[in-house]
Amino acid sequence: MNLVLVKSLLWGAGTLVFGALGWTLYEYKQAESELLGRQVNAKLQQDLLKDIQPPPPPKSDLVDYKRVTANFHDFNWTGKPPPPPPPPPPAPGPTRRAVKPLKDLLAVLYIQVDSSQPENSLALVRWVDRRLSDTLGAAQDGRLQAGFVLPEPYAYWSVTAIESEGVVFRYAPEDEQDQNPTTFRLSPPTPIEGGIVQVAEDGEVRLPAEFVLPEAGGEFVLTRPERTLELGPNRFRVGSEDGRYINENYLDILSREVRHKSHFNRKKGRMEGIEITEVAPGSIAAQHGVKSGDVIVSINGTAVNSVQEAISYAKNNADIYSVWTIVVSNAGYERTIIYETE
């Protein structure tokens, strides 16, 4: 066969093939543009799909596995009776509230015992707890007699007797009435040995046998100690020299011995109180019960929010008060500091 004829046939066949491919591509592009520009009819789709039957659900197991397990695996093949079920747990008992000790509620200062009529015996106390001080400060002047019951939330304490050894309290909360009540005795902090004054049956006030009144040897002058005395927890009697030093050098004390700032109460969202951030060890402030972290809330019931307010209040009332009650908060707990001045 002529080589030229073969080449001509091959070129002709190739041209036809490429022409057919080009025409097919052209028609595809035309149809694609038309289909993309056409919106799908939802109704037509529904009509086409409604005749299609859904596939059948999968067949379940011929045997119930749970029943097989109950009949063969969990079945008691031994013939022995099953053990009895465990007893139910005991029901939780009532929640017992926290009991505040007597020493944190009040302090006994003085006792007067009437042996002929014990119901007339009385005790003079100082309210340590702030709630009692606020509740009974005006209505109850610190005198207790048998039968007195502390107000809520301390109604579980009541006075049963006042004896020469101290005041007898009865502890009996409402949720423990079926139990035997417990008694406690609270005595004065520094009782005079054998020196309790008693009223005899004939009504005569009798001093202890060993008690002797000293004879006056001249003019009696009540002197005040130069240094501050700590009378008890959070109670101080300011000495004359210490008081004079504080009065003359309070600005130097506040700048060198104590670091402070106004306290921001996050719960209330406002400034409230004076926060003591640091106290120099052995300083005059530390000797008078001031601690790091203290927040001074009020002075004699008056709220103070800055050192300037506290200084102004102290100056304006120096001639009025001889006892200063400072309410202090620290780490979520409140305490009351009492200073006795001249």
157-216 pLDDT tens trace: 888 988 878 888 988 766 554 455 677 888 876 544 444 555 555 555 555 554 444 444
CB-side exposure of 229: number of CA atoms within 13 Å?
Answer: 8
257-305 pLDDT tens trace: 898 888 888 888 888 899 999 999 988 888 888 999 999 999 988 999 8
Averaged pLDDT score across all residues of the chain: 78
101-148 pLDDT tens trace: 888 888 888 788 877 788 888 888 888 888 887 777 655 557 788 888
H-helix or E-strand spanning residue 26: helix 3-37
Q: Are 124 and 142 contacting, i.e. CB atoms less than 8 angstroms apart?
A: yes
User: What structural domains and CATH numbers belong to the chain?
Assistant: 102-206 (no CATH), 229-340 (2.30.42.10)
107 CB contacts (<8 Å, ≥6 apart)?
125, 126, 128, 189, 232
Q: Are 154 and 136 contacting, i.e. CB atoms less than 8 angstroms apart?
A: no
Strand 270-279 with 258-265, pairing: antiparallel
Q: How many helices (H) and strands (E) does the chain have?
A: 7, 16
How far apart are alpha carbons 200 and 213 in whole angstroms? 19
pLDDT at 140: 54
pLDDT at 191: 44
